């Protein structure tokens, strides 16, 4: 892997997340304290199954997604006492522009689907729903967690 690819992936997948979190936390902490029992805010980071089990030929991607999981846990420990819940959603294969080439490939697409217990990649809405859930009162006692949304793929990979 070229150094430039490594640096670019870390910049996009990790440095940008860190900067966004810094800005969001500053804004949340500048607001009035909410009523007792209500969070000041929610942060939901996006990782990947690759961050939990690695991924051959994509170490740069897997490393950054693993770091997002560690960042989630560290930030949760730091920010939960201040009323900010920090969690993470870890998707598996999802039909997006980034995955389209692989999923449409006549050889690779069926192999990917075969490695997902539900038999198909996810739809972006199936990722959005869990993210939204983590920002509702129903998830008020959840912080520092990784919610796997991958059709069971993390269990078999």
Instruction: Give the other-Cβ count within 10 Å of 115's Cβ.
Output: 15
Q: Which two tokens stand for residue 67?
A: 């770091």
Determine which one of 17, 44, 52, 61 is catalytic: 61
User: Residue 153: what are its φ and ψ, rounded to 5°?
Assistant: -65, -30
- Structurally, how many domains does the chain consist of? 1
Domain extent at residue 112 = 3-29+38-156
Band of residue 157 on the pLDDT scale cut at 50, 70, 90? low
Q: Which two tokens stand for residue 155?
A: 């269990």
Q: 96-123 pLDDT, tens per residue?
A: 998 898 889 999 999 989 889 999 999 9
User: Residue 66: what are its φ and ψ, rounded to 5°?
Assistant: -65, -40
Q: Which two tokens stand for residue 14?
A: 């990790």
Residues in CB range of 58: below 8 A, 6 or more apart? 50
Q: What is the pLDDT of residue 65?
A: 97
Asked whether 80 and 66 are in contact (CB, 8 A), the reply is: no
Q: Does 125 score more than 70 pLDDT? A: yes
Active site residue 57: no
Q: What is the pLDDT of residue 56?
A: 83
Q: 16-39 pLDDT, tens per residue?
A: 999 999 999 999 999 888 787 788
Q: 38-60 pLDDT, tens per residue?
A: 889 999 999 999 998 888 888 99
CATH number of the CATH domain containing 134: 3.40.50.720
Q: What is the pLDDT of residue 126?
A: 97
């Amino acid at each position: 892997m070229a150094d430039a690819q490594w640096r670019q992936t870390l910049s996009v997948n990790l440095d940008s997340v860190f900067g966004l979190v810094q800005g969001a936390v500053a804004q949340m902490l500048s607001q009035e304290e909410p009523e007792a029992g209500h969070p000041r805010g929610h942060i939901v980071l996006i990782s990947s199954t690759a961050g939990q089990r690695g991924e051959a030929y994509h170490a740069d991607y897997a490393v950054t997604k693993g770091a997002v999981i560690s960042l989630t846990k560290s930030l949760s420990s730091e920010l939960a006492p201040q009323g900010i819940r920090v969690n993470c959603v870890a998707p598996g294969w999802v039909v997006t522009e980034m995955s389209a080439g692989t999923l449409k490939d006549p050889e690779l697409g069926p192999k990917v689907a075969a490695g997902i217990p539900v038999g198909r990649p996810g739809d972006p809405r199936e990722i959005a729903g869990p993210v939204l859930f983590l920002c509702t009162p129903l998830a008020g006692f959840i912080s520092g967690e990784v919610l796997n949304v991958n059709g069971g793929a993390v269990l078999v990979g």
